[in-house]
Amino acid sequence: MSLLENIRVFVRVVELGSLSAAGRHMRVSPAVASHRMKELEKHVGVRLFNRTTRQLSPTEHGRLFYEGCLEVLHALEQAEATVAAVGGRPRGAIRVTVPLGLGRRVIGPAIPDFCALYPEIEVRLRLSDYVIDLAREGVEVAIRLAVLGDSSLTMRKICDCERVLCAAPGYLEAQGIPRTPEELLKHRCLLLRYPGSTQFRWPLQTKDGPAKLSISGPFESDDGDILTDWALAGQGIVMKPLFEVAEHLRSGALLPVLTETPPEPVSLAILYPHRRLLAPKIKAFADFMHERCLDDLGKTLQGLSLAELQDTAAL
């Protein structure tokens, strides 16, 4: 078997902690992953893992070997990037993570166009509102819609995106319209919840500066589009990026509230691990999606902004 492929599987087993998870990532069965690890241990002549019924953990030799394998794989990646940059066409697989709403509306529909331009690039798209660890999950590119802080990742900002609080007319008629941020505490707020999520604290822009409200409500989901569906069904107030609910605001199915104290905007950005030389496949993907996002969001939001929504806000 290929020593290099065995090393790739070994690195993923160490990072993910199980043969089955590493197998899924590498698109091989747990049995194949297990066989590759046995072959690798035979090759290096030492035991690389402590095995229990629940997980694998590297031995001291395994940890040392893992660090060396990372250097090998990074060197190979840089060598491939150097050759491709000289004149080769971008090629290879890219694992990408994107938030659900953005992925369904913008990134997913753009993938066929991207692959038509770069037929030797394979895109493996993962849609999730979770903020995942790129290194641990083996993801090379993340397109995120968030308040972005310091990070070890390289960030290429696309634009800032306004957010809006909104609800169905029926909900506001039945429950009343919040006039101040504090009145949100009395309302049914629809929450995006997952491990590590902070969206149960809504950051609003007030005349006295930023204010974070610990809102609550009976419904929560880790899928932002489900929250929009609940809002349309009259179940509460939702906080959404403006582009995700633009059509519903235009039709009147949702009405904006508290437009004078809106949520803080979020940044739309492309992130990828820092590399001395960026792989051509990643650069090609980032360049393409940067332009596509700007174009699609511009069309979606044409004639719609928070300032203009103040005229149609629920009164």
Task: Answer with the residue of higher pLDDT: 86 or 290.
Answer: 290
Q: Verify that 73 and 114 share a domain, yes or no.
A: no
Q: Verify that 95 and 11 share a domain, yes or no.
A: no
Separation between Cα atoms, residue 92 and residue 278, nearest integer Å: 14
Domain termination residue (choose one: 28, 53, 86): 86
Q: Verify that 57 and 145 share a domain, yes or no.
A: no
Q: Verify that 77 and 94 share a domain, yes or no.
A: no
Q: Verify that 109 and 240 share a domain, yes or no.
A: yes
Residue 297's pLDDT is what?
87
Q: Verify that 156 and 286 share a domain, yes or no.
A: yes
Q: Verify that 197 and 159 share a domain, yes or no.
A: yes
User: Has residue 289 got a pLDDT over 70?
Assistant: yes
**Strand partners for 241:** 163
Q: pLDDT-derived band of residue 169, with 50, 70 and 90 as boundaries?
A: very high
Average of per-residue pLDDT across 233-256? 94
Q: pLDDT-derived band of residue 248, with 50, 70 and 90 as boundaries?
A: very high
Domain termination residue (choose one: 33, 53, 86): 86
Domain that residue 221 falls in: 89-315
Residue 315's pLDDT is what?
55
The CATH number that applies at residue 40 is: 1.10.10.10
User: Has residue 141 got a pLDDT over 70?
Assistant: yes
Domain count, the chain: 2
Six-digit token string for 182: 């504090």
Q: pLDDT-derived band of residue 195, with 50, 70 and 90 as boundaries?
A: low
Q: Verify that 94 and 75 share a domain, yes or no.
A: no
Q: Verify that 169 and 238 share a domain, yes or no.
A: yes
User: Has residue 151 got a pLDDT over 60?
Assistant: yes
Average of per-residue pLDDT across 291-298? 90
Domain termination residue (choose one: 21, 55, 86): 86
Q: Verify that 125 and 152 share a domain, yes or no.
A: yes
Q: Verify that 111 and 8 share a domain, yes or no.
A: no
Q: Verify that 155 and 62 share a domain, yes or no.
A: no
Q: What is the pLDDT of residues 82-94, one digit of tens each?
A: 665 555 678 888 8
Percent share of the chain, pLDDT over 70:
88
